[in-house]
Structure 1
């Protein structure tokens, strides 16, 4: 096991349910300095675990462990932190409670402050649902977070994004083997169907037009890409875990809490951090227009377009080196400011 567990005890969620003996899995890189002011929080994304974030951390990268103490907390529901797949009865499997991004970030804040004694964060950054959590850090702890860099993600799940996710969910749960979440054998048919739905959205129209699945990623045909890349991506994952994180994604909203009472513009305006908001030019989930709205209502934010035809995958997980280097350089720029 290359990660640690923060034992959070009994955690009451926004939904009113309590995860007893709640566990937050995390991995750190580097060393916290004496002043405890070199920590970077880098949350995980939909279905991802800390391993999937490591492409942005390392010697020669901006998030160099020789300089920064990088904390990668695993989302609730991702199979390492408390999840449907590892929680004992009665809150196991389909009974695992609804978890929000707010719940995740409140728990991460406890890790950062209680475990490490950190009072200031020079940076919080993340891709996709990691970006959603990054925005939450900025809005929930404006005096603690100095900079945020959410890339290819949003501060609130858009209506169109919600609808897309309904299609993903319908494909997965239509498999008879799913059995309302009480499956005894893996609903592979549903996972494969879900992968096929996702495949049309994760990469852009231009990505497919230019045949980058063949020419750059090296698959032998479009069908090979759909099976080997996409079905291969989802088949190892637990369906209830996927649905838990999907609900978190659909209900993402930095204003849905006791601080902002649903006032989205107020929540954006409360983010004091210097912000680089980096949408992908061809991202079908999180189009640049949504990011432009967010930036317009944030006091210290800049819109930086990732000019790429790799769609949502311009932001990760290390798939296109050119985009990775661009994002890395922007993190360096932001940290130097």
Structure 2
């Protein structure tokens, strides 16, 4: 039995000039929509993540409280639940699945809110990593609708440095002979393991490894045990084409790459009216605070709040660092109360 619902979108025309025939958007809701329809939190998924992997921030003891708010977690395209290379029939499945932008994702999420629930106001959009990318898109694409945003460990536009990191992940995945240019029948496990080890050097900070938090805090027996159990274990559970589809979405993420802003990144940032707290981590190798500072400088109602943590990209991430999650939860409470 699935714990989520699927909204049929029909044929979806994409920014890439392609389409997803009979597209599906999987989502899960938590809590109850009030009569005014103004207690809505949108909480998009992250790279490879599915809705249940967002649940570390949802709970009656947390800011994102289902007793008070109606929380919608839309699953990003290519994550294996919404339309993806792994679940779309020929000729659009597997290696032929079209490129989907963050803009495409958020347009369809907006359709879900409007057509299924009749929602016109959103109290908060928040998300981690690629969820933050979608959060920024919500603020820029629907400035009249979104009242607050809190993107954490993410950016409004993929930086050139971040793009290069993702090229390494892509190369590792596709170099496995079993990948067969995306037409595999068995997952390319060597490629997935190689991609996991590329990720391992970036997802956590140098100080994290120096202080051996993989052993002291996460309970692994050795560095190799951590690389196998934490990193390889994560990617071996995923589909390679799905990962590559989301990777493209990440690389070409840019809130100004659309007909609204026609590439003017500063104009797109300046159009975000939502009250915002932007929360990078000072040791995040993907999304350094300098990038967030530029974004906040051009947003009219935003505060930069740098997380002082050695957990890198995983500061406040899915269940890894309770201290950082508490810092994030406090910021969410403050923003929602404002």
Q: TM-score, normalised by structure 2?
A: 0.99
**Which residue in 2 is equivalent to 1:291?**
292
How far the C-alpha of 1:186 sits from its partner, in A, is 1.4
SS of aligned partner of 1:164: helix
**Which residue in 2 is equivalent to 1:257?**
258
How far the C-alpha of 1:315 sits from its partner, in A, is 2.9
Task: Write the distance in 2 (CA, Å) between the matches of 1:284 and 1:112.
Answer: 34
Residue pair 2:203, 2:313 contacting (<8 A) in 1 also: yes
SS of aligned partner of 1:293: helix
Tell me whether 1:58 sits opposite 2:54 in the alignment. Answer: no
Task: Write the distance in 1 (CA, Å) between the matches of 2:95 and 2:18.
Answer: 14
Task: Write the distance in 2 (CA, Å) between the matches of 1:311 and 1:220.
Answer: 21
Tell me whether 1:116 sits opposite 2:117 in the alignment. Answer: yes
**Which residue in 1 is equivalent to 2:307?**
306
Task: Write the distance in 1 (CA, Å) between the matches of 2:54 and 2:151.
Answer: 14
Task: Write the distance in 1 (CA, Å) between the matches of 2:172 and 2:133.
Answer: 24
SS of aligned partner of 1:218: coil
Residue pair 2:44, 2:131 contacting (<8 A) in 1 also: yes
Q: TM-score, normalised by structure 1?
A: 1.00
SS of aligned partner of 1:23: strand
SS of aligned partner of 1:318: coil
SS of aligned partner of 1:315: coil
Task: Write the distance in 1 (CA, Å) between the matches of 2:318 and 2:245.
Answer: 21
* 1:155-194 → structure 2 map (5 Å cutoff): 155-194=156-195
Aligned length: 337
Residue pair 2:316, 2:322 contacting (<8 A) in 1 also: no
SS of aligned partner of 2:208: helix
Query: Please, what is the CA RMSD of the aligned residues?
Result: 0.5
**Which residue in 2 is equivalent to 1:134?**
135
Tell me whether 1:211 sits opposite 2:209 in the alignment. Answer: no
SS of aligned partner of 2:85: coil
How far the C-alpha of 1:18 sits from its partner, in A, is 1.1
Alpha-carbon deviations, 1:50-100, whole Å to 9, x = none? Answer: 011001001110111000000000000000000000000000100000000
Task: Write the distance in 2 (CA, Å) between the matches of 1:307 and 1:80.
Answer: 34
How far the C-alpha of 1:184 sits from its partner, in A, is 1.7
**Which residue in 2 is equivalent to 1:99?**
100
How far the C-alpha of 1:20 sits from its partner, in A, is 1.0
How far the C-alpha of 1:185 sits from its partner, in A, is 1.7
How far the C-alpha of 1:116 sits from its partner, in A, is 0.5
Unaligned runs of 5+ in 2: none
SS of aligned partner of 1:155: coil
Task: Write the distance in 1 (CA, Å) between the matches of 2:253 and 2:89.
Answer: 26
| Structure 1 stretches of at least 4 aligned residues deviating more than 6 Å after TM superposition | none
Task: Write the distance in 2 (CA, Å) between the matches of 1:212 and 1:328.
Answer: 22
Task: Write the distance in 2 (CA, Å) between the matches of 1:187 and 1:203.
Answer: 25
Residue pair 2:282, 2:289 contacting (<8 A) in 1 also: yes
**Which residue in 2 is equivalent to 1:79?**
80
**Which residue in 2 is equivalent to 1:226?**
227
**Which residue in 2 is equivalent to 1:279?**
280
Alpha-carbon deviations, 1:220-247, whole Å to 9, x = none? Answer: 0000000011000000100000000000
Alpha-carbon deviations, 1:132-174, whole Å to 9, x = none? Answer: 0000000000000000000000000000000000000001100
**Which residue in 2 is equivalent to 1:26?**
27
Alpha-carbon deviations, 1:254-306, whole Å to 9, x = none? Answer: 00000000000000000000000000110000000000000000000000011
Task: Write the distance in 2 (CA, Å) between the matches of 1:245 and 1:184.
Answer: 20
**Which residue in 1 is equivalent to 2:333?**
332
Task: Write the distance in 1 (CA, Å) between the matches of 2:138 and 2:298.
Answer: 16
Task: Write the distance in 2 (CA, Å) between the matches of 1:239 and 1:219.
Answer: 26
Tell me whether 1:12 sits opposite 2:18 in the alignment. Answer: no
**Which residue in 2 is equivalent to 1:200?**
201
SS of aligned partner of 1:220: coil
Tell me whether 1:315 sits opposite 2:316 in the alignment. Answer: yes
Task: Write the distance in 2 (CA, Å) between the matches of 1:115 and 1:155.
Answer: 27
